[in-house]
Amino acid sequence: MNSSRTWPWWTSGAFALLVILTCTLLPALAITFEAGNIDWQQLFNNSYTQRVIWFSLKQATLSTILSLAIALPVALALSHKPNIPGRSFIVNVFSLSLVIPTIVAIFGIVAVFGRTGWFNNLLGTLSIPSVPLYGLTGILVAHVFFNMPLAARVLLVNLEGIPAENWRLTKQLGLKPVSVFRFIEWPAVRGQLPSLALLIFTLCFTSFAIVMTLGGGPRATTIEVAIYQALRFDFDIKLAVALGAVQLSICIFLMLLSTLVKHNDALQFNPYSVVAGTERNRHDQHLLNSIWSGLFWQAAHYTIIVATAIFILSPLLALVISAINSKLIAVVMQTSTLDALFNTVIVALASASLSLLLGIGLLNSVRHLRIRLKYETAGQWLQLSGNVILVLPPLVLGTGLFLLLRPYADVFSIALVLVVIINSLMALPFVLRILDGPVMQSANHNDKLIQSLGIQGLSRWIIIDWPQLRKPIGLAMAVSTTLSAGDLSAIALFGSERVRTLPLLLYQRMGSYRLEEAAVTAGLLLILCLVLFISIQKIIGRSVHSAHS
């Protein structure tokens, strides 16, 4: 390629960094300046503020403990029963909870565990008083629904990494199950727990949609929801800013903590890779069976696996069943539904493209820094800039953008633009996590050759990288598209009767208890996400061979 002039290696990274910093640092600065006028003492003496901060920490701690406490036996049971029918299906469904929009899953959870849901109906027929879902219970159920499978998968991968010799040794020594756990299994998973706990804690601490829908009013409000309410209920900019600053500092603290945690595999772990059913030979299975022999262990394993499958699958099933109702056709044909569908697709594709552009821009420069210039640390720092949304959660970022733009525009009329900005930054950590490995690997492999051929800049991406990386790029695009399509946080802040996406429409229909319409909307959003997820991967990520045909 004889392009007369190529951009130097740093332009793409600098451009991405500039966009990221403009979209985050300016809002953060706006918040900081505004926060200068706040009477902090009064804020922290206010018992409502105290309770909100306390509740945020409490629910996140409980969610983390519960998720891990359930994930461990689930992972153990699955690792002890490698050949149980439907095992790989269950394990793959575990990662499905990452594609399903939160608000859709919430609808399913309500259909199963709500006041008139399956679960309470079952309790009713057994004459057991029903369990109220709204409040802390609902938040915990939903957080476990989303995070337990993630944790179980990470732990399962580690359990399966235990060498076969260890099992044989175990057998020879005649170790009992409790000792097997203590000496073989616990050491294999222990290292993962701190980083997993931190990841789940951070996700739950900044959780928005779940707390807003299942919190059940002021009794259960987290900082993230309180920011939304301060802006959209009270027009209390000061309170929003103050809470935003508190949220920001706690997130920075968590981020710093995560750099101290040694075994950071959980954060590197790619939750979207499909787990192939681990094939163990008959001998191994026999061996495992002989360790956990007896009726008790058999029953325990099957109970855990079946109960988990029911817990994860029943909300999805309930959703699908309730979505097929008498209002189906009417709701799908409504202008409000179609408008929201259109907006959702536009927002999702725009934010995913922006996210991918930023991600590839960063990685292009990071690759040069790390591989050609050997500036490992500088490269990693540049890459870290893509994770800025982790310290500046969507509602905090939204508050900052609102402060910046309000003097110049009616923020509600540029809602979609703001949502695209926030959603693309939300997806960026995922894009980077998915692309980082493949990009660096292929660069390590080919860099000398590429350098000697003098291929650089855009042509390197077209000739060399695209055929090799289109699969992970397709995955990154698919993940970020579904993430934005299902997001409720940014659109909750800036959406209105003028601009709605499907998640907002679903939230509003649930909020006004129009449950049949809500069910159809949820079903539609679920289908949209699955279609986007699969078709984007198919279109972009086609294998190299078929691309040439």
Partner 1 sequence: MNLSPQINRHTKTAQQLIGAAALAVGAVFSLGASSGIAADRTLTVYTYESFTAEWGPGPIIKAGFEEQCGDCSVEFVALDSSAGILNRVQLEGDNTRADVVLGLDTNLMAIAEDSGLLAESGVDTSKLSLPVEWTSKTFVPFDYGYFAFVYDTEALPSPPTSFEELINAPDDVKIIIQDPRTSTPGLGLMLWLKSVYGDEAAAKWEALQPRILTVTKGWSEAYFSLFLNGEAPMVLSYSTSPGYHMEIDETEQYQAAAFDEGHYLQVEVAATLKRSPNQELAQEFLTYLVSKEAQSAIPLSNVMYPVVDLGDQLPESFNRLITPASTHLFDPEVVRDNRKQWVDEWLDASTQ
Chain residues that interact with partner 1, rule: CB under 8 A: 22, 26, 29-30, 33, 46-48, 51, 55, 134, 216-219, 221, 229, 231-236, 343, 402, 404-414, 416-418, 496-499, 508, 511-514
CB of 389 to partner 1, least distance (A): 18
CB nearer to partner 1: pick between 308 and 508: 508
CA torsion 82→87→90→95, rounded to 10°? Answer: 50
Which residues have CB under 8 Å from 256's CB, separation 6+? none
* 393, 247 Cβ separation under 8 angstroms: yes
Q: CB–CB of 497/308 below 8 Å? A: no
CB-wise, 31 or 473, nearer to partner 1? Answer: 31
Rounded Cα distance between 492 and 395, Å, is 9
CB of 516 to partner 1, least distance (A): 12
Nearer to partner 1, 47 or 259 (CB): 47
474 vs 495, beta carbon nearer partner 1: 495
Of 512 and 535, the one with the shorter C-beta distance to partner 1 is 512
Q: Closer to partner 1 by CB, 213 or 482: give it.
A: 213
Helix residue ranges, H only, 4-46: 10-35, 40-45
Residues 395/224, Cβ–Cβ less than 8 Å: yes
Nearer to partner 1, 216 or 271 (CB): 216
Per the CB < 8 A criterion, the answer to whether 90 and 520 are in contact is: no
* CA nearest to 423, candidates 488, 496, 345: 488
One-letter amino acid of 401: L
One-character DSSP codes across 401-412: HHHHHTTTS-TT
Query: Which residue lies nearer to partner 1 by CB, 2 or 47?
Result: 47
Rounded least distance, CB 250 to partner 1, Å = 20
Cβ at position 346, least distance to partner 1 in Å: 9
Residue 215 or 474 having the CB closest to partner 1: 215
Q: Could you report how far apart the first and last alpha carbons of the chain are, in Å? A: 23
Minimum distance from CB of 47 to partner 1 (Å)? Answer: 5
Q: How far is the CB of 514 from partner 1 (least distance, A)?
A: 7
Nearer to partner 1, 129 or 161 (CB): 129
Smallest distance from partner 1 to CB 407, Å: 7
| Minimum CB distance to partner 1 smaller for 191 or for 216 | 216
What are the distances in angstroms from CA 429 to CA 236, 348, 370? 31, 16, 19
Distance of closest approach, residue 42 Cβ to partner 1, in angstroms: 11
- Give the number of other CB atoms < 10 A from CB of residue 165: 8
Tell me which residue has tokens 């900052």: 400
Q: Which residues of 214-253 are buried (b: 16+ CB within 10 A; e: fewer)?
A: bbbeeebbbbbbbbbbbbeeeeeeebbbbbbbbbbebbee
Q: Measured from the CB atom, is 116 or 179 closer to partner 1?
A: 116
DSSP H helical ranges for 454-511: 457-459, 466-485, 489-494, 502-511
Distance CA 148, CA 105 (A): 14
Q: Smallest gap, in angstroms, from Cβ of residue 342 to partner 1?
A: 9
* Helix, strand, coil content of the chain in percent (nearest 5): 80, 0, 20
User: Closest approach of Cβ 404 to partner 1, in Å?
Assistant: 5
> What is the Cα–Cα distance from 204 to 328, expressed in whole angstroms?
33
Smallest separation (angstroms) from partner 1 to the CB of 141: 18
User: Cβ neighbours of residue 359 under 8 Å, at least 6 residues apart?
Assistant: 16, 386, 428, 431, 432, 435, 476
